[in-house]
Amino acid sequence: MIFRLDERLLFPDPALAEPDGLLAVGGNLSVNRLLLAYQHGIFPWYSDDTPILWYSPHERFVLFPQELKVSKTMRRVLRSNAFTVTVDQSFKDVVAACSQIGRPGQDGTWITDDMQAAYLELHQQGHAHSVEVWQNGELAGGLYGVQAGKVFCGESMFSKISNASKVALAHLCGMGFSLIDCQVYTDHLASMGARMISREEYIGILQGE
């Protein structure tokens, strides 16, 4: 059953999500609603031609920082100082770059203007963060997401130069989070150690169990 949200600040039990993870429709992207969603393992994912759709997948694609796999080639890149890494220095630019990167099998972007504005407000209130990777003073790659306790809920990443997004992820793994939620499976992240866990295990980690 798909639930329709109204102005009340609440979500249905995530366990009631459809097989594809779709849980609810509607509501808004206010800071308080977004924080409530992430605290309960729910995130928005929609496009300009749909209402706001809220998902809570039955399995989560996650990366435990201590399980990060770094290839020999990547170790050389990290040691080479070819890139400079910063945190929360260009959040808006990272989100914009993520929205503009073409992705196989994807027509357009789910990072709509409303989404960009909502996550910028989350960032300004200290709840959303970015990792920026620079080369020769230019933004070469990066990622952004929402902090929910000790969990980093990754929203998107991009790379304009080979290995830049991997550098961003490696840096994120050293920032003290107990878990990085990657949300959607990709071969790229799987090769770096990300794996599936159940929603129950994920929510347990969110709640510090």
pLDDT digits (tens, 9 = 90+) for 53-91: 999 999 999 999 999 999 999 999 999 989 999 999 999
Model pTM greater than 0.85? Answer: yes
Secondary structure class of 80 (helix, strand, coil)? helix
Domain end marker among 58, 75, 92:
58
Phi-psi region of 208 (alpha: psi -120 to 50; beta: other; left: phi over 0): left
Tell whether 54 and 65 lie within a shared domain. Answer: no
Tell whether 166 and 66 lie within a shared domain. Answer: yes
Tell whether 101 and 194 lie within a shared domain. Answer: yes
Domain end marker among 36, 58, 80:
58
Tell whether 34 and 85 lie within a shared domain. Answer: no
Tell whether 97 and 32 lie within a shared domain. Answer: no
pLDDT single digits (tens) 143-198: 999 999 999 999 999 999 999 999 999 999 999 999 999 988 899 899 999 999 99
Question: What is the extent of the structural domain holding 34?
Answer: 3-58
